[in-house]
Amino acid sequence: MQKCSNTPGHPMPSPRLTAPFRRPLFRRLAASYAINELGDWMGIIALSVLVFDRTGSALATAALFLGTRFLPALFAPILVAQAEKPPPRYALPMIYCGEAAAFAALALLVDNFTLAGVVALAAADGALALAGRSLTRAVVAASLEPSGELRAGNALLNVAFTGGAAIGPALAGLAVAGFGVQSALLLDAVSFYVVAWILFTAGAMPHAEPEPGRTRDRVRAGIEYVRSQTLLRRLLTAQGLAFVFFAAVLPVEVVYVKETLGSSDTGYGVMLASWGVGMLLGSILFARLRQARLATLLFFSTLAVGAGYLGLAVAPTLAVACAASVLGGAGNGVQWVAAISAVQELTAETMQARVMSVLESIGAAMPGVGFAVGGIIAAALSPRLTFLVAGAGVVAIVVVMAPLLGGNWLQDDERPRKSLLDGRDDIVVELIPGSAGTTGNPDLEERR
C-alpha cells in the first residue's frame, strides 16, 4: 500500500474506491448498513402511521418523535460504554437482536395500543440503533484505517446510506399500505434478525480493548477524552450548534411549499426529492474526491448547505426552490460523510466507539431545539424567514469557528495510533446535517 507523503499541505494518495470490498468483513458491514437503513425507514413510517391513526393527535406523534430522538441520545453513550467490552462479533448481533425484539413487541401493541408503551419501546430501539451505528463505525475504522482505506470505506457506506434514503421511504410506504402496520413492523423485526445473522457469521472483528473499570468510569473517561482533545471538542461543538439551524426548516417545509410558493402536495414531494437527488450526487462526489483534503470538503460542503437554505429563502418559484435544494442536498451528501471521517481520524482507536456515540447522540438530540426555533419563527413571522435564519446561522458557524479550527492539524509522523485531518493550513467547519437510525422525522433522516 502506497504511503502518504509527509510534506505539509499535500493530500494523502487514496486507494481505489472499491478496495474495501476486497475485505469480506467490510462487505458484510456494508450489507448490514444498507439493510439496517431500509429497516429504519420501515419503522419510522409504520410507527408514525400507527400513532396518528390510533390517536388522531399531532401532539401524540410529536411525543413519538421526542421519544425516538431525545431519550435515546441520553442513554446511548452509557450503552456503548457497556457494549464495547465484549468482542463486536457478539455485541453487534446482540444489539440488532434487541432491535428485532423491540419491533416484534411493537407489532403486538398494534392490537393492544398504548401510546406510553409505543414511545417506551421506540425509545429503547433508538438507543440500540445509536449504539449499533457507533460500534459499526468503530469496527470500520479499526479495520480500514491502518491500510489507508477508511475514506474509501466511508464513501461506500455513504453511497449505501443515501441509496437507502432514496428508496427506503417508497418501499416502506408500499409495505405499510400493502400489508398493514403490524405486518410491516414484523417485517422490520425480521430485517434486524437478518443483520444480526450477517454480522454473527462474519467471523472475528477488530476489537480495541477498552480500559478496565466500571461502565460509569469508561463513560467518564470518554467525556474527559473529548474535553482534552481541543480540535475534536470544537468540531463536536460546531456540529451541535449547526444541527439547530439545519433542523429549523424541517417543520415548516410543507407550509413553505404550499402557502409561500403556492404549490401542491406534489410540489412538496418534488422539492424533498430534489434534496434527495442532491444528497446522492454529493455522496458520489465525495467518492470521486477521495484525494481532496477533508478540511476543504468540510468547509465548502457546509457553505453549500447554507447557500441552499439562503436560496430557498428568496426563491420566487418552485423550480428555483428545487434548484436550491439540489445545491443544499449535494453539500449535505459530502458534508456528513466528511464529518464522520474527520471525527474518526481525530479519535484514538480505543475511544472510537465512545466518541462516535457522542456524535450520534448530539445528532439525535440537537434537532429538537431546531424544530422549536424554526416553528416559532415561522408562526410569528414567515417560513421564508425561517430559511433565511437557518442559512445565515450555518454561514455564521463557518465564520465564527474557522479561526478556532484552522491551522493546527498535526502531520502523520506526529500522531501515534491515530490520524488527524490531512493538511495543516486548512479551514475546517463542519455541520451535522441529520441524524440516523430510528428517528421520528423522515425528512430529517433523509438529510443525513
One DSSP character per residue, 332-390 reads HHHHHHHHHHHHHHTS-GGGHHHHHHHHHHHHHHTHHHHHHHHHHHHHHT-HHHHHHHH
Element containing residue 272 per DSSP (H, E): helix 265-288
Q: How far is CA 280 from CA 121, 170, 253, 408, in A?
A: 32, 16, 20, 32
Q: Is residue 12 a part of any domain in this protein?
A: no
Q: What is the pLDDT of residue 259?
A: 84
- Report which of residues 121 and 431 the model is more confident about: 121
Would you say residue 98 has pLDDT above 90?
yes
The pLDDT value given to residue 448: 46
Residue 415 pLDDT level (bands cut at 50, 70, 90): very low
Most confident range, picked from 50-64, 202-216, 240-254: 240-254
For residue 429, the model assigns a pLDDT of 41
Q: Residue 386 corresponds to which cell in the numbers above?
A: 425561517
Checking if the pLDDT of 28 tops 80, the result is yes
- What single string gives the DSSP state of each residue in 302-330? HHHHHHHHHHHHH--SHHHHHHHHHHHHH
- Cβ-based neighbours of 380, under 8 Å, separated by 6 or more: none
148 domain-assigned: yes
Pick from 281-285, 320-324, 367-371: least confident: 367-371
209 compared with 70, residue with greater pLDDT: 70
Q: State the Cα–Cα distance between residues 20 and 26, nearest whole angstrom.
A: 6
DSSP category for residue 202: T
Above 90 in pLDDT, residue 176? no
- What pLDDT was estimated at residue 210? 63
- Cα-to-chain-centroid distance, residue 248: 17
Asked whether the predicted pLDDT for residue 241 surpasses 60, the reply is: yes
Q: Is the pTM of this model over 0.85?
A: no
CB atoms inside a 10 Å sphere around CB 188: 30
Q: What is the mean pLDDT of residues 352-374?
A: 81
What pLDDT is recorded for position 9? 37
pLDDT at 440: 37
pLDDT at 80: 81
Give the chain's domain count: 1
Span 262-285, pLDDT tens digits: 888 778 778 877 887 888 888 888
| Integer Cα distance of 63 and 204 in angstroms | 40
Nine-digit cell at 41? Answer: 425507514
- Tell me the CA distances in angstroms from 221 to 16, 85, 86, 350, one per residue in order: 37, 14, 18, 11
Separation CA 370–CA 377 (nearest Å):
11
Residue 5 forms part of a structural domain: no
Distance of alpha carbon 121 from alpha carbon 110, whole angstroms: 13
Q: What confidence score (pLDDT) does residue 292 get?
A: 79
DSSP line for 130-161: HHHHHHHHHHHHHHHGGGT-HHHHHHHHHHHH
Average pLDDT, the chain: 79
The answer, yes or no, to whether residue 29 has pLDDT greater than 70, is yes
Residue type, 232: L
User: Is 13 a member of any domain?
Assistant: no
* pLDDT beyond 90 at 193: yes
Residue 165: what pLDDT? 65
What's 83's domain CATH number? 1.20.1250.20
Confidence of residue 208 (pLDDT cuts 50, 70, 90): low
The pLDDT assigned to 14 comes to 52
What pLDDT is attached to residue 162?
Answer: 72
* Domain boundaries, position 32: 19-446
DSSP, collapsed to helix, strand or coil, labels residue 424 as coil
Most confident of the following: 85-94, 171-180, 280-289, 316-325: 316-325
pLDDT over threshold 80, residue 320? yes
Q: How far is residue 258 from each of residues 146, 207, 253, 324, 429, measured CA to CA in Å?
A: 51, 51, 9, 17, 33
Share of the chain above pLDDT 90, in %: 19
Average pLDDT over residues 242-255: 83
| Mean pLDDT within 249-259 | 81
Count of helix runs (H) and strand runs (E) in the chain:
16, 0
Residue 225 lies in a domain: yes
